[in-house]
């Protein structure tokens, strides 16, 4: 019996499998055809829709949504002043500065793979980068020149903002944030100068930090410094260098300021800076010219009401 039963079962299962296979063979072709057909419209797939939430057909709604629903693009408003898209008003200097910051972060991270902030290794690492690491020289060059370029771009950005009067109400505070960002940019560059541990960086940083000796009150050679008990071993220069001379500790401190602390601080300020550009009413112009005869009598200082988007009209 068991044999019979087993036989019966066996044939039953086999038949079922055969049946299924036949059915599958029939539908598989159709399914495959259908799926290949669907691939011609990738934007309808689940995978695509999970990543991109909006259609990208060329119509106004989608143009706006593609900016607003993308985390990288949503710093932009959906629409801008038509005259502001031309090069001649902004010179693109703020954007160039930010792009250079990204380039510097990217090349900087790659450089960090090859660099040890120690007196024994630092200079050798640069030689290694220049002579043995594939594209190492290009990497270092790009980092160096992008840094120089960033400083120039920051200055020109500030110059443009000044010349268009864009620091005026309601953008006063953002100008201040911008000034701090400029200082941070120069400090970033300066701390990086020491890292190759060559004569150029060493003496530049020596000259630079020697000035810190003379800080009023906090430097041992500064006015009233000695009277407050400042010595070469406890003053502000000592804090900067981690010692009384530019040596191993100074190298490590410069490295950490350069690679971690200042970029973090700068990134926070950048976030505020960009956010405030939007909240202060977007890019300042080119706005319609105002006439002298239209100046209103100055009332007592009005508080500027910040109207976050979604709170009443305007915004």
Partner 1 sequence: MGFDWRQIWEIASSPDNVPIVALLFLIPFYVWYAIRQGIANDKLIAILEGDAQAAKTKYRKTQPWDPKWDREVHTWPYLMRMEFLVAIILTILLMVWSLTLNAPLEEPSNPNVTMNPAKAPWYFLGLQEMLVYFDPWMAGVVMPTLIIVGLMVIPYIDVNPLGNGYYTYKQRRFSIWTFLVGFIGLWVLMIVIGTFIRGPGWMWFWPGQTWNAERVDYAVNRNLDQVFGIDGSWLAAITHMSKDQAAIWARVIFGVFPTVLFFIGAGFLVHWICMRTEFARKMYKRMSLVQLITMYTFLILMISLPIKILLRLVFTIKYIWVTPWFSI
Site for partner 1 in 176-205 (CB under 8 A): 176, 179-180, 183, 186, 189-190, 193, 196-204
Which residue, 222 or 263, is less far from partner 1 as judged by CB? 222
214 near partner 1 (CB under 8 A): yes
Q: Cα–Cα distance between 220 and 239 in angstroms, integer?
A: 12
Minimum Å distance from CB 110 to partner 1? 13
Q: Is 304 in the site for partner 1 (CB under 8 A)?
A: no
For residue 166, the minimal CB distance to partner 1 (Å) is 6
CB of 38 to partner 1, least distance (A): 27
Cα angle 111, 115, 120; round to 5: 160
- Is residue 182 within 8 Å of 270, Cβ to Cβ? no
CB-CB contact of 180 with 269 (8 Å): yes
Nearer to partner 1, 70 or 261 (CB): 70
Footprint (CB under 8 A) of partner 1, residues 125-144: 126-127, 130, 137-138, 140-144
Judge residue 291's burial from the number of C-beta atoms within 10 Å of its C-beta, 0-12 exposed, 13-18 middle, 19 or more buried.
exposed
Among 6, 12, 42, 223, binds partner 1 (CB under 8 A): 223
When asked if residue 81 is in the footprint of partner 1 (CB under 8 A), the reply is yes
Q: What is the DSSP string of 135-192?
A: THHHHHHHHHHHHHHHHHHHHHHHHHHHHTTTTSTT-HHHHHHHHHHHHHHHHHHHHH
**Which residues in 32-71 contact partner 1 (CB under 8 A)?**
60, 63-64, 66-67
The C-alpha atoms of residue 21 and residue 27 are separated, in whole angstroms, by 10
Between residue 145 and residue 174, which ones bind partner 1 under the rule CB under 8 A? 145-146, 148-149, 151-152, 155-156, 158-160, 162-169, 171-172
């Amino acid at each position: 019996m068991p044999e019979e039963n087993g036989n019966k079962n066996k044939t039953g299962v086999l038949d079922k499998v055969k049946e299924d296979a036949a059915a599958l063979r029939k539908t598989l072709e159709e399914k495959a055809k259908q799926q290949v057909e669907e691939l011609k419209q990738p934007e309808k797939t689940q995978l695509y829709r999970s990543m991109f939430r909006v259609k990208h057909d060329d119509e106004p709604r989608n143009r706006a949504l593609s900016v607003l629903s993308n985390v990288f693009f949503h710093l932009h408003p959906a629409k801008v002043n038509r005259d502001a898209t031309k090069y001649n008003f902004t010179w693109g200097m703020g954007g160039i500065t930010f792009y250079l910051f990204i380039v510097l972060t990217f090349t900087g991270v790659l450089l960090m793979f090859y660099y040890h902030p120690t007196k024994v290794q630092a200079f050798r690492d640069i030689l290694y980068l220049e002579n043995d690491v594939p594209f190492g020289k290009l990497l270092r060059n790009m980092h160096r020149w992008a840094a120089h370029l960033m400083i120039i771009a920051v200055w020109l950005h500030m110059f443009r903002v000044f010349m268009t009067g864009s620091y005026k109400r309601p953008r006063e505070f953002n100008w201040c944030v911008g000034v701090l960002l400029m200082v941070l940019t120069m400090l970033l560059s300066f701390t990086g100068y020491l890292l190759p541990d060559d004569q150029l960086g060493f003496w530049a940083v020596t000259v630079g930090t020697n000035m810190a000796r003379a800080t009023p009150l906090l430097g041992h050679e500064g006015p009233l410094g000695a009277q407050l008990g400042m010595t070469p071993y406890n003053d502000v220069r000592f804090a900067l260098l981690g010692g009384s001379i530019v040596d191993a500790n100074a190298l490590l401190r410069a490295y950490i300021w350069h690679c971690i602390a200042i970029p973090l601080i700068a990134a926070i300020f950048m976030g505020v800076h960009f956010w405030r550009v939007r909240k202060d009413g977007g890019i300042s112009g080119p706005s319609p010219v105002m006439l002298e005869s239209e100046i209103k009598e100055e009332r007592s200082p009005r508080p500027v009401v910040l109207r976050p988007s979604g709170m009443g009209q305007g915004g």
